[in-house]
Every structure is written in structure tokens, then in C-alpha cells.
Amino acid sequence: AMDRVPLRRVPSIRSQLRAQGLLEDFMKDHSPDMFNRRYAQCYPPGTP
Amino acid sequence: SLRLGRSSEKIYNFMDAQYFGEISVGNPPQNFSVIFDTGSADLWVPSSYCVSHACALHRRFKAFESHSFHHDGRTFGIHYGSGHLLGVMGRDTVKIGQLVTLNQEFGESVYEPGSTFVTAKFDGVLGLAYQSLAEILGNPVFDNMIAHKIVDEPVFSFYLSRRTKTSTPEGELLLGGIDEALYTGPINWLPVSAKGYWQIKMESVAVQGVSSFCPRGCQAIVDTGTSLIGGPTNEILILQQLIGATPTNIGEFLIDCGRLSSLPHVTFILGGKEYTLTSEHYVRKEMFGNRDLCFSGFQAIDIVSPEGPLWILGDVFLTEYYSIFDRGHDRVGLARA
């Protein structure tokens, strides 16, 4: 009752967009959102 | 979130995720690649009914082909950068390696707006955090594995390698135990301080041996779904200055690749033990054209928790340290990978 799951490492979405020259436009197009602000926010249960 | 009567909301960042593995859903099994994310608690994959461009480029779950599928009828929504992923909930058999979970609640996304997922190499996400973070009603996958005694021990562990594709393994998730071949030295056990994320207390962060951040202690989460090391904006900006990183117009921080050997060490103090990263560890190199670009492995992320602002120990940290997530004792173990 134990199992190994092999994990693969691939270029991130950011890396692929950068390689395609699309990252800057992507960031601008998705404003205002977490990508432009470079963070995610979470308000866990119990947070006023 | 209002439907669930909660004020909480997780916003996912899939932009930097790099490690994923295979699972199957349904009977006969339908395969999907998913991020195994300790920073969330839901399982979702694209639905065959999804008509978004992103779905067209990924494997989609065909509920009508599964003999074991149970329709739920409720909807769920997961917020991410530019939009709101929408889906419907269902139950079906989920297989991870040889471990089979029957009647697992999961989400089928029917709407994936924007272009975020278009280039994603993964189809969905399998969350491994505590149930309190779940958007989808029902037990998260690992909770069900524990409840139905599918795993011997209520423990899973991650090995993430920085090595290139020519070497194997690039990473491993071990469900139900610890792989002693993948780490050296003793395991340092850290109690979970809040059961949502895999959240632990961090004593301080030092730059070149000098305690610079959270000198009275702070909170950190161990998050395999995040690529970089995150921290409160004010502190990360100072840290970027200390390592000589320069901001770009899209909010990334560049470092001169020629200066790596002269950059300071950054040390995280956890459970009285020092976890030191050199510049080789915390700088990410990417080829752009025919030259290397060096990026800071730190990012500003303001996450509020009742215990205070959170730091996030993502892949940049976890590639150096084998991580063990122990639900039986609600603790995280770290050892040199």
C-alpha cells in the first residue's frame, strides 16, 4: 500500500511564453490580475 | 465561496508550475497529467463538454464512457489569474499508480477562459492540502486514501530534482511512505501550525548569516504547486536588493549571470535547523535565444493568514530538500535531498 509516482519536469507556462516572445503581452493582457501583481492571495477560513 | 458560506478563496498560480505526474479517472481508466499540489485540496481535470480553447489542447474526461461515474450536479469555481475556471462535480474511480480510490469527488472543468492553460503541459491539478482548503465538497484524494486504508501510512513525500531530462527521475511522489534512498541525514520534523496549507513555523530568514527577516518568527507553507520562494512584498523587495536583483517591466527580477558566485547565501531557520540556499540554488537560469537569463527565485506574494503573513517554500526550496507530509502526526519532515 505504497506507490511511487514518477514526476516529469517541463518548462513552465512562463518559460514557454517567454521563449515564444509572448510573455510581456500576456502579462499586459491579463491585468489586473495575479500575474501582473506576481502574487496570489488567499484569505483562509477564519480571517476577518 | 459565498455558496459555501466561507470568506476564503484560493487563487491559483499555474504560471510557474513545472512538475507533474499521471493519474487516471474512470473505468475504463482515462489518463491525465496533473500537478500534485500541496497548496490546494481539489482534484480537477478538463471535461469533454469544455469548449474553451485551452481544453481543446488537453485530454478531457468523458464521463459518458466511464461505467463508474456518478453525476453530482453541483458546480464549482476556481479562481486563477485572468479568470474563473468553472466546472461540475462528480464522483468516480481515481487511480494513482496502483492505488485505487473509489467514488472520489472531483471536478470537471467546463470553462477555462483566457490563454493561461493553452500552453500548460498538464491537464489538471490534484490537491494534497487539508480539506479546509477544498472548493469541491467531499474528501480530498489523500483524505479518502487514509479513510479507506488505501495507504499503509498517512504519509506522502516529494523528491524534486533540478537535473535535466537526461537524468531520471526528475521527481517522485511517494504515496504512503518515505523513500530513504532519496535523502541523506536525519529528518527534521516540524509541526503543522494551521491545518489548511501545510503550514509551519519559521524562526527567521538570514542573508549571508545575518538575520534579516521575520526575526521573531513567522509562518511558512510548504507548497509543491509553487515554483519559487514567496514572501511578503516588503521583505522580498529588500531581499531582491540584497541579492542584486533588478526588476523588469513585467515584475520579474533579473540577476547578472556573471555574478552568481559572489551572491550571498540565504538561510531559512526551521525547527532550529538551518536550511541554506546558495545562488546556484535560488537563481533560475533560462535560455532565451542563445543566451542565459538569470532570474531571482524569490517572488513577492502577500498571503494573509490568522497567524500572520505567509512565506511559501516552493520548488526552489524543495529541489534541495526532500519533503515529507505526515497527516498522522500533522507534521512536515525535511531532509537533504
Residues of chain B in contact with residue A7, where contact means CB-CB under 8 angstroms, are 19-21, 36, 160, 169-173
**Tens digit of pLDDT for each residue in B11-27?**
556 777 889 999 999 99
Work out the minimum CA distance from B13 to partner chain A, whole angstroms.
7
Cα of first residue to Cα of last residue in chain B, in angstroms, is 38
What is the share, in percent, of chain B residues with pLDDT greater than 90? 62
**A25 part of contact set with chain B, CB < 8 Å:** no
Residues of chain B in contact with residue A46, where contact means CB-CB under 8 angstroms, are 306
For chain A, what is the largest distance between any 2 Cα atoms, rounded to a whole number of angstroms?
A: 48
- ipTM (interface predicted TM): 0.87
Listing DSSP states for B10-34 in one string gives BEE--TT--EEEEEEETTTTEEEEE
Out of B14, B21, B250, closest to residue A7 by CB: B21
| Rounded-to-integer distance, Cα B275 and Cα B269, Å | 6
Give the torsion sign (CA, B70, B73, B79, B83): positive
**Tens digit of pLDDT for each residue in B144-175?**
999 999 999 999 999 998 876 555 678 999 99
**A21 part of contact set with chain B, CB < 8 Å:** no
Query: How many cross-chain Cβ pairs, A to B, lie less than 8 Å apart?
Result: 170
For A16, which residue in chain B has the nearest alpha carbon? B119
CB contact under 8 A, A5 and B115: no
| Rounded-to-integer distance, Cα B317 and Cα B334, Å | 11
Work out the minimum CA distance from A22 to partner chain B, whole angstroms.
11
**Tens digit of pLDDT for each residue in B94-121?**
999 999 999 999 999 998 766 777 878 8
| Rounded-to-integer distance, Cα B36 and Cα B225, Å | 7
pLDDT computed for residue B40 by the predictor: 87
Work out the minimum CA distance from B161 to partner chain A, whole angstroms.
8
